[in-house]
Homo-oligomer: A and B are copies of this chain.
Amino acid sequence: MNNRASQFFLELQETICRRLEEADGAARFRTDRWNHAAGGGGITRVLEGGALFEKAGVNYSAVSSTLTERLAKRLNTTEQSIFATGISIVLHPLNPYVPTVHFNTRYLELESGTAWFGGGTDLTPWYLFEDDTRHFHATLKAACDRHDASYYPKFKKQCDEYFYLPHRKETRGVGGIFFDYLKGNFDTIFALVQDVGNSFLDSYLPIVAKRKAMPWGATEKEWQLIRRGRYVEFNLLYDRGTLFGLETGGRTESILMSLPPDVKWAYDFTPVPDSPEEKLLGVLQHPREWV
């Protein structure tokens, strides 16, 4: 198995946690090292109850496991053993005006040597600020464009398609990029993955800086809690990474650290017409081009 990818993910975890602690200013990450029953393990870092982040999870793993029959079928292979390494981040800010964000990159390698990268990042605001969304997408586009001009448009579309809740007829958020089964020359694709990884904080932290001091009240908090319910629905019903992890006997607390701290389900909640809440829904129902 190739260890350059896992070494990069490990270092990225360290850098990102340090900079998120600086941004938060109050709370620190705890660190849990764990082993997978099948082989390998990971480091889970979680910050809770911060000034900025209600919950922030940054997970690194490098695991050798056995494919379940269902997963082998989906990957169109009969091979039984898989090496998977990756970094996965979900940040849940306290202030409803600061968007939740997800970032993940991973490298998978089958017994035969067949290998690929996957990953992506998507922004989930509870209130729409078009400038913020443009900044997020522009930063990702710049990282992609340095490698192949066809990447961003393709990955942006795949993101809207992947982070979609058919039972709600909504995207999870305002998108970003998503790619999977990226195969070919290791060095070429790894360079893209590194660039995307190194761009993550630049895509997100300037948005945090602009929104974190905005005052909010009960209306904004309730809306955030209800919309976080959609986040839970996506992760437990559809997210391939979550289901892959649980199916292959991954560490439950590390996989489900993506779930928001406080969540609310209100029956048939409908935003007030022409409210900022309804404006967000419009964009989730009809994804736009941002750059």
Contacts and interface: CB of A to CB of B under 8 A. Distances in A.
A260 B46 CA distance: 25
A216 interface: no
A57 B48 CA distance: 33
B32 A229 contact: no
Total copies of this chain within the assembly: 2
A36 B57 CA distance: 40
Size category, A interface: 20 to 34
Contacts of A263: 232, 262-265
Nearest to A235: B236
Interface string A33-71: 000000000000010100000010100000000000000
Given A237-B243, A261-B266, 12 more contacts: A46-B267, A46-B268, A48-B267, A166-B246, A167-B252, A167-B255, A225-B262, A233-B236, A236-B236, A236-B237, A257-B267, A263-B263
24 contacts: A32-B268, A46-B267, A46-B268, A48-B266, A166-B246, A167-B246, A167-B252, A168-B252, A225-B262, A229-B259, A232-B232, A232-B236, A232-B263, A233-B236, A236-B236, A236-B237, A237-B237, A237-B243, A253-B268, A259-B265, A260-B265, A262-B262, A262-B264, A263-B263
